[in-house]
Amino acid sequence: MNTILANYTASITELKKSPTELLKNAGDEAIAILNHNSPSAYLIPSKTYEKMMEIIEEYQLSKLVEERLNDSEKSIKVDIDEL
């Protein structure tokens, strides 16, 4: 059995019938969309999605910074007094 990562669930049939009602009832929470009692998708509010994308972008940037800091071939030592 798959883990459901949401407090609210709905079948695909319920989603087709009334998506607006599902969103209204769930408020700011994610909704697991079930197909044969297994999650097939998650329906999340737009603000939650935007926040998730922000977090992912920040994570990717932090990994890039970390990678570049550890690349000693490309690093250039600079004296602050010379700037």
Mean pLDDT confidence for 37-53:
95
- Please compute the mean of the pLDDT values over residues 23-45 and round it to a whole number: 95
Asked if residue 3 is part of any domain, the answer here is no
Domain count, the chain: 1
79 in a structural domain: no
User: In this structure, what CATH number is given to the domain that contains residue 54?
Assistant: 3.40.1620
pTM (2 d.p.): 0.74
pLDDT for 63 equals 96
Domain extent at residue 60: 8-69
* Residue 36 backbone zone (phi > 0: left; psi -120 to 50: alpha; other: beta): left
Residue among 29, 30, 38, 50 nearest 11 (CA): 38
Give 39's strand partners. 34
pLDDT digits (tens, 9 = 90+) for 57-83: 999 999 999 988 888 777 777 888 988
In this prediction, residue 32 carries a pLDDT of 97
Residue 36 within any structural domain of the chain: yes
In a domain, 2, yes or no: no
